[in-house]
Amino acid sequence: GDSVTQTEGQVALSEEDFLTIHCNYSASGYPALFWYVQYPGEGPQFLFRASRDKEKGSSRGFEATYNKETTSFHLQKASVQESDSAVYYCVHSGGSNYKLTFGKGTLLTVTP
């Protein structure tokens, strides 16, 4: 069945560190892939998307490239800030075109 796997449950970094959160998906067809970010007490916020192989999505310094061969969509940021501390979700939109499948989320904590 459709699924999204985020390898890291928690990531702790210092400001200006490089961030990678690994995401692999399993889906039939050609899903759209998304990253969402959720701050405490709020709903998930759309970060960016990619819809086809080799497409790069990016926003606010975060980026990820759709890789159909490795079924991955890893999130990266070159230099994190304390304000980036939040939970990050890798999501795909499967064949129904609306049913979003969420990963379990990765809690990013950035200390000054």
Question: Judged by CB under 8 A, does residue 87 bind other proteins?
Answer: yes
Q: How far is Cα 112 from Cα 82, in angstroms, rounded to an integer?
A: 6
Q: How far is Cα 23 from Cα 26, in angstroms, rounded to an integer?
A: 10
Distance in Å, CB of 96 to other proteins, minimum: 8
Question: Judged by CB under 8 A, does residue 94 bind other proteins?
Answer: no
Phi, psi of 82 (to 5 degrees): -55, -35
Distance in Å, CB of 18 to other proteins, minimum: 25
In the three-class reduction of DSSP (H, G, I as helix; E, B as strand; rest coil), residue 105 is classed as: coil
Question: Judged by CB under 8 A, does residue 69 bind other proteins?
Answer: no
Q: Looking at beta carbons only, is 69 or 98 nearer to other proteins?
A: 98
CA distances from 64 to 42, 58, 59, 77, 96 (A): 23, 7, 10, 9, 23
Question: Judged by CB under 8 A, does residue 34 bind other proteins?
Answer: yes
- The window from 16-24, 59-67, 68-76, 96-104 that contacts other proteins (CB under 8 A) reads 96-104
Question: Judged by CB under 8 A, does residue 43 bind other proteins?
Answer: yes
Q: How far is Cα 60 from Cα 88, in angstroms, rounded to an integer?
A: 14
Amino acid identity of residue 72, one-letter, is S
Interface with other proteins by CB under 8 A: which residues? 34, 36, 41-46, 49, 87, 96-100, 102, 104-105
